[in-house]
Structure 1
Amino acid sequence: MGDGLQALLDESARELGVPGAVIGIVDGDQEHVLTTGVAAADTGAPVTESTLFQIGSTSKTFTGTVAMHLIENGLLELDTHVIDVLPDLRLADETAVQSLRIRHLLTHSGGFLGDADELPGWGDDALARNIATYGSLPQFFSPGTIASYSNAGMRLLGRVIEVVTGQTFEEAVQRIVLDPLGMTETFFFPWEVITRPHAVGHVPGEDGTMAPFPLWGITRDMNAEGGIVSSVGDQLRYARFHLRGETEGTAPVGEETRLRMQQPQLSAGPPVEAIGHPWLLTHHGDARVVMHGGNISDIQISEFLLAPDHDLAITVLTNSGGGKALGSRIVDWCFEHLRGVSTTSAGTELRSPDTLDELTGTYDAGQWHYDVTRVGDALEFAMVFSPQIIALGIPPRPPMRLRVRADGALITDDGQAVGRTLDPSEGGPELLHLGLRAVRRR
């Protein structure tokens, strides 16, 4: 396996502009770790098994694991009303505040705007201060009705964890997940990372070569949604637990709860099929997949994937925007060469171009919006960052050209489904699902 996969990793990194990457695979009773490139282009430090990467939104599954631990131990219930834990919680829709439950936070179905602005500061009150701003978050739909990826909801769940445990969010994760699993190379704070080998994100420089980008990309109030920094070895420890329950200490959750976390709770739009607690659920060909992954401002991108029925787990950690395509290639290779599973096509019958005009307009997603125009038989989605994001210096993303399949899926030119239109009963055409988010037309 090693030579073929190593060649794919090396070639893909060069082609896609990924300065450095590491992949880890749990393959039955075997484990494999392969690296390529450098952690930082300016220092030339090589990526090794000990290099720390920001794992981004895979952190949400740690938050979910802690929440399910509290539920399993009788300190919370799935149907606990959030306001019973956080009586000062305010949302723009008072009715939504009264009906919002823990299960809605776990399944990204709180219904309020999912990408709230973060606040500066690294004090223990970071989450509490951020949640205090939620009174201005608009409500898109009633809690529990539609899955729409929600960083804001995961922050709220992190604050619930703090109040219930009497610890900071990071202390609770350390006690309940990291220590029992022996994850000694996993951290939350930049001052913990700076003295250890770590990757930095990269963007194209003026001459087109990849250059380090001076952005951490996370404030403390974002830790529950995306703040973890980890090594490939620790990611494999985490994978072994959620794949088959292996642990060096007391399991964070019992077997029944671990498996329940991987069961569909609410259907979702492409590129996944359903939401668990809070895993993202889909299929690779006919293989059932339990997954997540993360994206830190397009400068560090990761994949994390379990195939429980095939005793397979894959983690991919990268340090540039090309990491998304690299991760997809690695995952495809592993399924095909290790398990004989190939992807399947859903067909390409398209909606009539004459029906596309009803989908054009400007759709809000919080920290950015999409200007959607019709271009021939396709829709062009131009992503426009908010002033706060622009101020960080994050490079703009090129417009996406998407076609609309007959079943409503929004697909790329190579047929990958990345979103879907919604029926009028679901709020369409005023709402679209794109990148797991329900975005609303102005």
Structure 2
Amino acid sequence: MTVRNRRWLGSLVVSAALLAAGCASEKAATKDLGAEIDEIAAALIQQPLLHSTSIGVVYRGEEFVRHRGDMETGKPGPPTDATRYEIGSLSKTLAGTLMANAVLEHKVSLDDDVRQYLQGNYPNLQYKGEPIRIRHLLSHTSGLPNMLPERANTVLEDFTDHRTPSELNTLYAHYGKADFFKDLHAVEIDRAPGKDYAYSSAGTELTAHILETVYNSDYESLLRGFFGDSAPMMGLRIRLSDSEASRLAVGYHSDNPIPTTPMPQLPWGASGNVKATVPEMVKYLRFQLANGPVVKESHRPLVTFDSEFSIGYFWNIVSGDRLKGVYHAHHGGVPRSQCYIYIVPKYDLGIFIITNQSGDQTARAMEAAIDTLVEKIAAREALAGNDVSR
């Protein structure tokens, strides 16, 4: 689930503190990178409402993990490597990776009509004879609404309203797969699939159903099995046991000073319910940077919208950035945390950053921190004599 349906890929307003931390110079580039990441984390939590942050970085094979701040106001206690975070819509990139693997294993074709994986008749999942295909789910061009039930989209229109978390909890308290399919029958597709970008978590949930169908296994088992073997990320979870839930990060919604509840459980959880620690996400960065066949397929553009923006298997693909070159990224947001992942091949660089606060300025503050870090990496590369002009 995203905080807003927008392309967050543009000019950034960088706070004075982060800009000061990010001024690249030869002197700065000679500092220990771990110390610089720590400084960036410290500057980030000086932003209004931000309580704490964790950052994981893989740069040319070297790993860095930094935690800063206190998880709860007035209670000393920073996040740790054991803290389990809700990674929100970063979950979609995991689902995209599983679908890329299914394509390579010839379990599915990108041009399959999604209705062949559904029981019953869905004449509504097409527009003038053009059906919704798997590629349309992956590229957010299916025409499906952001969320099902439709009422959730109305709730999310005013995301920062203090009532939003409780209203979402009520909507999804007893909302299961059967309810999803009932609502899917009522969806109206008002434009040709494959052309217009319209972010859809419902499309990701349907992707998880297709994966369950072709592999004859529940989605969480597929998720944990694939990434446990390939990354290896042994700690990924969608649903938590009582003992695991005790390590789930506390978080804050908007400017509410009282900690809020976790993201409610969605029917499959593929669009926004994955939980992971920062060390687990560092393993994911390594997996992405290794660029094996499945990753390479998942990073392949499925739809190009303009010269700077395209979509792979749920990955945003951005080009034209002076420092970053072509990179893959995704934002994640739930009512009590926001995060980003960046894969920047130009520097053999992966970044994961997360905060335990979710408001209308949280994403912008994290984007500024990421830009600061990339500036420092670019300065480091220039000193090393690497070509950073590409």
TM-score, with normalisation over the residues of structure 1? 0.67
Instruction: Work out the CA distance in 1 between the residues paired with 2:80 and 2:100.
Output: 33
- Displacement after TM superposition at 1:80 (Å): 1.5
- Residue 191 of structure 1: how far off its partner (Å): 3.1
| Alignment correspondent of 2:16 | none
Match for residue 12 of structure 1 among 25, 44, 47: 44
- The answer for unaligned runs of 5 or more in structure 2 is 1-32, 153-170, 381-390
Asked whether 1:260 is paired with 2:310, we answer no
Report the Cα distance in structure 2 between the residues aligned to 1:14 and 1:91, rounded to whole angstroms.
52
CA displacement at 1:131 relative to structure 2: 2.5
Instruction: In structure 2, give the amino acid aligned to 1:280.
Output: N
The answer to whether 1:335 aligns with 2:385 is no
Kindly indicate whether the alpha-carbon contact (under 8 Å) linking 1:114 and 1:151 is maintained by their aligned counterparts in 2.
yes
Contact 1:59/1:226 (<8 A) preserved: yes
CA distance in 2, matches of 1:137, 1:239: 36
Q: Which has the higher strand share?
A: 1
- Any idea what SS the aligned residue of 2:317 has? strand
Partner of 1:181: 231
Match in the other structure for 1:281 = 317
| CA-CA distance at 1:282 after TM superposition | 1.0
> Superposed, which structure 2 residues align to 1:411-422 within 5 Å?
none
Q: 1:327 to 1:308 in 2, by over 3 A?
A: same
Displacement of 1:212 in angstroms is 1.1
Give every structure 1 segment of 4 or more consecutive aligned residues whose post-TM-superposition deviation is greater than 4 Å.
93-98, 192-196
Query: Which amino acid in 2 is paired with 1:50?
Result: A
Give the Å deviation of 1:122: 7.5
Counterpart Cα distance in 2 of 1:228 and 1:269: 31
* Contact in 2 for aligned 1:53/1:198 (Cα 8 Å): yes
| 1:34, distance to aligned residue in structure 2 (A) | 0.9
| Matched pairs, number | 325
The answer to whether 1:55 aligns with 2:98 is: no
**Partners in 2 of 1:47 and 1:89 — Cα distance?**
48
The one-letter code of the counterpart of 2:37 is L
- Please state whether the residue corresponding to 1:211 is helix, strand or coil: coil
Instruction: Specify which structure has the higher proportion of helix.
Output: 2
Asked which structure has the greater RCO (Cα within 8 Å, sep 6+), the reply is 2
Aligned residues of 1:16 and 1:326 also touching (Cα < 8 A) = no
* Counterparts of 2:289 and 2:85, CA distance in 1: 22
Matched, 1:323 2:362: yes
Q: Which residue of 2 aligns with 1:233?
A: 279
SS of residue matched to 2:47: helix
* Between 69-78 and 19-28, the greater mean CA deviation after superposition: 69-78
RMSD, matched Cα: 2.7
Partner Cα separation in structure 2 for residue 96 and residue 128 of structure 1: 27
Partners of 1:97 and 1:319 in 2: CA distance? 45
- Aligned counterpart, 1:141: 191
Q: Percent identity?
A: 21
- Residue 25 of structure 1: how far off its partner (Å): 0.5
Partner of 1:395: none
- Of the structure 1 ranges 282-291 and 26-35, higher mean CA displacement relative to structure 2 is found in 282-291
- Gap change, CA 1:186 and 1:45, over 3 Å in 2: farther
Query: SS state of the match for residue 340, structure 2?
Result: strand
Distance change in 2, residues 1:154/1:132 (3 Å): same
Asked whether the 8 Å contact 1:108–1:147 carries over to 2, the reply is yes
Query: Would you say 1:23 and 2:52 are equivalent positions?
Result: no
User: How far does the alpha carbon of each residue in 1:166-203 deviate from its partner, in whole angstroms, 9 at most, with x for none?
Assistant: 11111111112234322123211143575442212214
Superposition pairs of residues 292-303 of structure 1, within 5 angstroms: 292-297=330-335, 299-303=336-340
Q: 1:193 to 1:275 in 2, by over 3 A?
A: farther
Q: Does 1:103 align with 2:142?
A: no
Residue of structure 1 aligned with 2:250, choices 200, 205, 208: 200
The answer for the alignment partner of 1:244 in structure 2 is 290
User: Following TM superposition, by how much is the alpha carbon of 1:32 offset from its aligned partner in structure 2, in angstroms?
Assistant: 0.9
SS across alignment from 2:95? helix
**Per the alignment, in what secondary structure is the counterpart of residue 230 of structure 2?**
coil
1:75 to 98, 102, 107: 107
1:120 matched to 2:159? The reply is no
Q: Distance in 2 between matches of 1:302 and 1:186?
A: 16
Structure 1, unmatched stretches of 5+, are 246-254, 342-442
Q: 2:130 touches 2:192 (CA, 8 Å); kept in 1?
A: no
- The offset of 1:150, in angstroms, is 0.9
Q: Whole-Å Cα distance in 2 between the matches of residues 267 and 76 of structure 1?
A: 22
Shift of 1:114: 2.5
Residue 216 of structure 1 and its aligned partner are, at CA, apart by 1.4
**Which residue number corresponds to residue 390 of structure 1?**
none
